[in-house]
Amino acid sequence: MTERMIVVGADAAGMATAAQARRRRDRNDLEIVAFERGHFTSYSACGIPYWISGLVPEREQLVARDPETHRKQYDIDVRLRHEVTAIDLDRREVVARDLDGGGEVRERFDTLMYAAGAVPIKPDWARTDAAGVFGVQTLDDGSALRRWLEAEPRPRRAVVVGGGYIGVEMAEALVLRGLSVTLLERGEQPVSTVDPDMAVLVTEAMRGLGVDIRTGVEVTGLAVRDGRVYGVQTDAGHLPTDLVVLGLGVRPNTALAEAAGLPLGPTGGIRVDRRMRVTGTPGVWAAGDCVETLHRVSGLPVHIPLGTHANKQGRVAGINIGGGYATFAGVIGTAVTKVCDLEVGRTGLRERDATAAGFEFVSVIAESTNRAGYYPGSRPMTVKLIAERPSGRLLGAQIVGWSEAAKRIDTLAVALWNRMTVDDMTALDLGYAPPYAPVWDPVLVAARKATDALAR
């Protein structure tokens, strides 16, 4: 009898799983049905700010594989605008609602892939049907925002709530579209993924771009008239606006999983093993932004929603479902972003993470340049390293610079992944030429400084 796999969520993790499983098993052996509540499959949510800004001209450029490609090339039954509303593990079936045609369908499964992603964090004040309030979690969200930006009368002012990656990227995108932008962050700094001494560099760059950054500000409500937002209420007063973008972060989308009895970990994500099998639940797999995974440095469970992890986890799950063997080795928290021309990268632990994990450590900041100082285009670069005391093992790194900064974090990520010490790193044989690096690369300068700090 043909085995049947149901996929809940047809984006990165879900369709990577389905494609890998299909490569190993044909339709006569494995039937695959994928449910997706939106209008798109396999797209880059990370690219939405660049489409909003106009740097990416067409929405379709963000779609890696459309539904027809999955149907024809991979023989996957993709059902768009179908929202799975229940999972019955005893009956081995899912219930899905047709969001356009109405009605409900029930489909049996032998294997279930839960890849429902993450959902935006929304405090009570953000739960509104008012026009002009947008998230940017999905391509459908981005499409709605683009329509608002292009409708008459054109909006002139925007408030972005939240200073994480999405918040700062959307602030830049809206500035590039000619809007006056205010970014509100209730913490002491935007971009809390880096330490405060590095975040100040990002803040200065954003203010140089024209973004009005206000930290330590708590949003308390929205001002709405005739069903349309016209202002944001905060504990520091009222801000008039023509649109609001929510960038308050996300949490694992696990409501269905929890209702079905799937186990959740301390981060709120689904607990899976190294092969992406849901713990203690035969025939059920999960991957992507809805799961928690192991941080290779701290040894603690973490929830880090990134498309890179989702694709890798989906590939691992698909290989295993297809009869092969693969494992997901965990994460170290590597991420990069761009704020105007400033590049920001981080990997591993921040100072507060290292403290929470119980490490004794030193941290150093090294100032250098991206290229030889005499070569045209040479710009400042700041590298921060955190190393365990007394072993010298690298625990984390952050880089802020104007060019060739973000990709240097990959060098540090490889060192971190392989448990190198900062002393080991001082001898790395890195590429050198004046257009690309000084004689002493910024990574090596920082490693030397950390080594010296450990010797004191």
189 close to 203: Cβ distance less than 8 angstroms: yes
Which residue among the candidates 39, 46, 131, 428 is catalytic per the annotation? 46
405 close to 399: Cβ distance less than 8 angstroms: yes
User: Catalytic residue at 340?
Assistant: no
Neighbour-count burial of 380, counting CB atoms closer than 10 A to its CB (0-12 exposed, 13-18 middle, 19+ buried) = middle
CB atoms near residue 252 (< 10 Å): 25
How would you classify the pairing of strands 104-108 and 111-114?
Answer: unpaired
114 close to 270: Cβ distance less than 8 angstroms: yes
Q: How far is CA 185 from CA 188, 234, 249, in A?
A: 7, 11, 12
Q: Read out DSSP for 161-208?
A: E--SHHHHHHHHHHHHTT-EEEEEESSSSS-TTS-HHHHHHHHHHHHH
Give which of 56, 23, 63, 61 is closest to 40, Cα–Cα: 63
Distance between CA atoms of residues 414 and 392, nearest Å: 16
For residues 431, 435, 439, 444, the Cα torsion angle rounded to the nearest 10 degrees is: -60
Neighbour-count burial of 438, counting CB atoms closer than 10 A to its CB (0-12 exposed, 13-18 middle, 19+ buried) = buried
Distance between CA atoms of residues 394 and 392, nearest Å: 6
Rounded to the nearest angstrom, the gap between the alpha carbon of residue 317 and the centroid of all alpha carbons in its chain is: 20
Q: State the catalytic residues.
A: 46
